[in-house]
Structure 1
Amino acid sequence: MIQKLLITIFLMFPLMGMIGNSDGLGKRIDREIRDEFHVSSFEHQGVEIPDNLRQKLPSRISKENFFKLKSDGNLIGYAYLDKAPSKTAEFDYLVIFNKDLVIARTKVLVYREEYGGEIGSKRWLRQFDGKSKSSEIHDIAAISGATISVRSMKSAVKDLLVSVEILKENKVL
């Protein structure tokens, strides 16, 4: 129960910049969003997912980790924050979508393993840019020495895209 609460707090507040954390995660997330959309400021709003629909989604999506992003009152995109398993730990990642729900940027925020950190490279992560359907994930290249993390990130993004497709079909997005 405590772990679930801490994960919820972790997922909710970095984007809001309300918790001063030692690793500056909230600031990094905000910077990624500002850089992607070329805005100096933005607001975010958690996307409300009906309970019956949330249970059908392959990704853990809730208003605590999936956000509409607005600047000057206009929708500019969406952001999704979650964790994925690596060999012995988990890594935190961010997926930024444009307003048409096409992946604009992915970012590994915190990687906690000794090996496999190459999945955090901009060059590798750029392969996800422009993807909007789960069927487009099959062509993501492998990385020697990061097999588990690569599979985990590919699976997480594929599940997220399936979830987004379901949310679009059900007119939540």
Structure 2
Amino acid sequence: MKKIICITVLVFITSSFTVSKKIEALITKEVKSVFSVETFQKQHISILNDIRKELPQKLTEFNFFKVYNNQKLLGYYYYGQAYGKADYFDFIVIFDNNLIVSKVKVLVYREDHGGEVGSKRWLNQFSGKSKADNLIYQKDIAAISGATISAKSMTNEINKLLKTVQILHQKQLL
């Protein structure tokens, strides 16, 4: 009985830190589209725990990757979650090899209201932003009526990511 419980707990813990096949397929589609490639390889970015602790954005071996094609660095991508009014939503940020945001896309939005945060037009505001940018909601990033919480949350998450990328670049990890 103890063995079954241990295995069940281990499976639960392992599966809770991985990306579902559906999300992975959406990420693959976006990465291929942004970099105009048929295939790519991803490599987890290793970060020592002492550096990881000083980063504003939590990075794991499942959410931040270098993207290669034929051993050539194309860029990076980050898979994250932001909070809406009552639930989290999943998004991806794709950077070029100069750490400039190429694309931001909401992959899964789980609420009835606020889905406008996933509109291409609104998300395009993040394209071209870099590690040097500090985005201010309602100044640099337009507000969305009916999606205020999601839009603020997304802006905050992208800001944390840009600051994280800046720190990693300064430490020559990117």
Contact 1:101-1:132 within 8 A present in 2 as well:
yes
What's 1:7 paired with?
16
Q: Deviations over 1:122-154 (max 9, x none)?
A: 111000000003634220100000000000000
Query: SS where residue 65 of structure 2 aligns?
Result: strand
> Residues 166, 4 of structure 1: CA spacing in aligned structure 2 closer, same or farther, 3 A cutoff?
farther
Q: Quick one: which amino acid aligns to residue 54 of structure 1?
A: R
What's 2:144 paired with?
143
Please, which runs of 5 or more residues in structure 2 have no aligned partner? 1-8
- How far did residue 6 of structure 1 move? 3.4
Contact 1:34-1:42 within 8 A present in 2 as well:
yes
Structure 1 runs of 4+ off > 4 angstroms?
1-4
What's 1:153 paired with?
154
Contact 2:94-2:101 within 8 A present in 1 as well:
yes
User: Superposition RMSD on alpha carbons, in Å?
Assistant: 1.6
What's 1:89 paired with?
87
Contact 2:99-2:131 within 8 A present in 1 as well:
no
Q: Distance in 2 between matches of 1:79 and 1:167?
A: 14
- How far did residue 7 of structure 1 move? 3.5
Query: SS where residue 50 of structure 2 aligns?
Result: helix
Please, which runs of 5 or more residues in structure 1 have no aligned partner? 15-20
Q: Distance in 1 between matches of 2:100 and 2:13?
A: 29
**Percent identity over paired residues:** 41
After TM superposition, the structure 1 = structure 2 runs for residues 65-104 of structure 1, keeping only pairs within 5 Å, are: 65-104=63-102
Contact 1:49-1:63 within 8 A present in 2 as well:
no
